[in-house]
Amino acid sequence: MAAALGDDAARAPAGKQVIGLIFGPPGSGKGTQAGRIEKEFGMSHLSTGEILRSEVAHGSAVGKEAARIMAAGDLVPDDLIDRIVESLLRRTDSSSSVLLDGFPRTVEQAKALDRMLADLNRNVDFVVALDVPEPMLVDRLLHRAAVEGRTDDTREAIMERMHEYRLRTAAVLDHYRRIGVPVAEVDGVGAVDEVFDRVRDEIKRVLEGKPQARGI
């Protein structure tokens, strides 16, 4: 994980490293695009889904609490996830740009993140929101189930995750729009590289301070 934006990438304002969010419904490609953003812009990638899966795999107390909730397609409690993210952000070098993936997933988490970042003299600089129609999301996740066998990729858990997204997560975008954070909505349909071209253009636009094609 590089500490600063790469030479070929757009740069953050002088002396300031950025905090970005990759946002979208389950299966929209957050993790997939985050890997590419991490490389292109030299950001530290922090995925709450990956952290939780690692806790489950290690059988930790957090993992034991999260395993059943995740397998059912529900969201783990805000206070648990907030504590994990806060401790990781505190350990992150303030000169690092950070890409949060899968967090925040509720307005309460978004407000907790605002408080954590204010304590660290930082703030969310941009949100990239991937837009993919629900039937395609379900197909992608069922395909992943066949390939990877993730416990939360059963049809029942997928439908519950979609429900939770509509009920609790979608409103997070309005929170950021309300407080004036640039929100770029990106069409997440197409080959992974095509989607990344759109994502990269939007992030560069934000970092260069130009108006966005969609969003804001």
Residues forming the site for ligand B4P (CB under 6 A):
24, 26-32, 48-49, 52, 69-70, 73, 75-76, 81, 102-103, 105, 109, 140, 144, 152, 161, 190, 192, 195
Of 112, 128, 107, nearest to 207 by C-alpha is 128
Closer residue to ligand B4P (CB): 104 or 215: 104
- Give the orientation angle of helix 107-119 with respect to helix 171-178, to 10 degrees: 40
Query: How far apart are CB 105 and ligand B4P at their closest, in Å?
Result: 4
The backbone torsions φ and ψ at residue 215, rounded to the nearest 5 degrees and listed phi first, read 90, -160
> Can you read off the two tokens belonging to residue 103?
């967090």
Query: How far apart are CB 164 and ligand B4P at their closest, in Å?
Result: 7
Of 85, 86, 79, 80, nearest to 66 by C-alpha is 80
Closer residue to ligand B4P (CB): 119 or 194: 194
Closer residue to ligand B4P (CB): 90 or 143: 143
Closer residue to ligand B4P (CB): 49 or 63: 49
Count of H helices and E strands in the chain? 9, 5
Query: How far apart are CB 116 and ligand B4P at their closest, in Å?
Result: 13
